[in-house]
Structure 1
């Protein structure tokens, strides 16, 4: 078989399998761990804001079906309005979602918060 270069270290090795890309199993593990770490690091800021938003909504809603809170109240609680997971249309209105919680902007800067 021909020589190949390890994707992590760049060292030259003779593969024992046709699909082998790393000289050792340890190099493969380190390569994949580094790749996963970079992915987590890239998403960390957004994931932290989403987790904060979900925690705030969970605490506010508690066992209630829905509540109405002001935008200023949510801002004061640390809510990040620019970060949501998705949007859904319900009864002809567009709701912003943070995981299982949904928010609808109503009049006078009020938000209806409910669990989907």
Structure 2
């Protein structure tokens, strides 16, 4: 079999298998860890914001089934309205969701918050 270059170090090696891309298992692990770290860093800011939003909604609901809060109240609590995980249609209304929590705009700049 011909020599190929290790994907991490670029060193030439002769693979033992046809699908082998790394000279050593340690190089493969290091390459995958670096790749995962790069992905985590790229998502970190949004993930932190989503986590903070979820914690705010969790704290507001506690054991209640639903709660109504003003947009200003949520902003004051640190909620970021620009980031959500998904949207759902429920009773003909569009709800913005942060993981398992759903928010639906009401009149007078208030929002109904519930578990989705």
Give the shorter-chain TM-score range.
Answer: over 0.9
Cα separation, 1, equivalents of 2:72 and 2:37: 36
Q: Matched residues in 1 for 2:12 and 2:43: separation? A: 34
Q: How many residues align?
A: 116
Q: TM-score, normalised by structure 1?
A: 0.98
Aligned partner of 2:2 in structure 1 is: 2
Superposition map of 1:90-109 within 5 A:
90-109=90-109
For residues 16 and 83 of structure 1, the distance between their equivalents in structure 2, rounded to whole angstroms, comes to: 47
Distance 2:18 2:112 in 1: 58
Quick one: distance in 2 between partners of 1:73 and 1:102?
16
Looking at structure 1, the residues matched to 89 and 18 of structure 2 have their Cα atoms a distance apart, in angstroms, of 50
- After TM superposition, the structure 1 = structure 2 runs for residues 1-116 of structure 1, keeping only pairs within 5 Å, are 1-116=1-116
Task: In structure 1, list runs of 5 or more residues that go unmatched.
Answer: none
TM-score calculated relative to the size of structure 2: 0.98
Cα separation, 2, equivalents of 1:12 and 1:44: 35
* Structure 1: 4+ residue segments shifted above 2 A: none
- Unaligned 5+ residue runs, structure 2? none
